[in-house]
Amino acid sequence: MAALVTHQGVPADPDVRARWHAVVEADPLGSIFHTPEYLEVWADVLGTRANVRVHEVTEDGETIGVVPVALQREGSPTGPLEVVRFLGGTEVTDYLGPVAAPEHRATVVATYLDQLVGDGDWDELVVGGMVVGSGWDELWLAQAKEHGLTTLGAARDDVCPRIDLTGGFGAYLERLPSKLRHEMRRKTRKLARDAGDLELVEVEEDDLDAALERFFAFNTATTDDKGRFFANEDMQEWFRALASRLGRDGGFRLHELHVGGMPGASCVSLVHGEEWGLYNSAFDEALAMLAPGMVIVSELLRVAAGEGCTAFDLLRGDEPYKYRFGAEDRELLTAAFQRS
């Protein structure tokens, strides 16, 4: 018999976290975005106005799933609504939703919805950031209908282009079309020839603050949407908090590409198990014509493969540069429901 235990806020209890981590590892789609450490940072930095609830689903005394959500008041054409969303916020979190081993997912969704339909403090349920065809998307749509909820809509949310690194970097290059493989090498040679020697440097913990400031400066030097995004102090605080509270042991990695001895590009990555996620990148606009952003990604692919990662996820967004590395889309779904 399944049961549900609700924690207000992200629980600090190490036993609860250990059970949560075990479920993340049991879920083939479990990622750094599903861990208590990542979601705690989101709740503390960007989710301060949300009512955070972490639902632990148990069966025969064993935790089989975790459903982290946030209840927030949101505006609508008909007035304010209380909306339940998966914890994390799509602005900074690429994959969202519950975690459970495949054989437990149906029980986890049904147990959570059994409680939700009995609660009286919400108007809409929005489930997003789910991988299309993963099983989670079909379960939420089917179970919501069975629990008497009205579907407001379901559509592709975004895509996460991914690169297959199984077999190592050499095997990846062999699978890459020759034109793309040649282009990667050509850009690296041209940048080194025209701007100076290249060195990929992983920033050490003591140097993270200064490196993050360079990363912000690279981004805010542009006048596009990304520049405006990073001009927001809340977003800079978010990256500082991730670096401080996750650190390398928690999966936060920052690399710089030094060009002629000076930082010319930088990347923030989130690494979990055999998955390397390219979270954000930036480069010196003075080098834009020499494609330092492309070069640092190609160098990170080599590092990720060398560390045993089998997938390099370029995360949300279908920017054209991602497909120049042979990435293939993983589609995400968002669905919304209301009480019948």
* Cα–Cα distances in angstroms (integers) from residue 68 to residues 17, 54, 56, 327, in the given order: 12, 4, 8, 30
SS (H, E, C) 157-208: EEEEEEEECCCCHHHHHHHCCHHHHHHHHHHHHHHHHHHCCEEEEECCHHHH
Which neighbouring-strand residues pair with 74? 81
pLDDT single digits (tens) 13-67: 999 999 999 999 999 999 999 999 999 999 999 999 999 999 999 999 999 999 9
Q: What is the pLDDT along the chain (340 residues), one digit of tens a residue?
A: 899 999 999 999 999 999 999 999 999 999 999 999 999 999 999 999 999 999 999 999 999 999 999 999 988 777 789 999 999 988 999 999 999 999 999 999 999 999 999 998 899 999 999 999 999 999 999 999 999 999 999 999 899 999 999 999 999 999 999 999 999 999 999 999 999 999 999 999 999 999 999 999 999 998 888 889 999 999 999 999 999 999 888 899 999 999 999 999 999 999 999 999 999 999 999 999 999 999 999 999 999 999 999 999 999 999 999 999 999 999 999 999 998 7
Of the candidates 138, 134, 125, the residue with the CA atom closest to the CA atom of residue 67: 125
114: left (phi over 0), alpha (psi -120 to 50) or beta: alpha
pLDDT single digits (tens) 224-248: 888 899 999 999 999 999 999 998 8
CB 190 within 8 A of CB 290: yes
Dist. CA 134–CA 64, nearest whole Å: 18
Coil, helix or strand at residue 268: strand
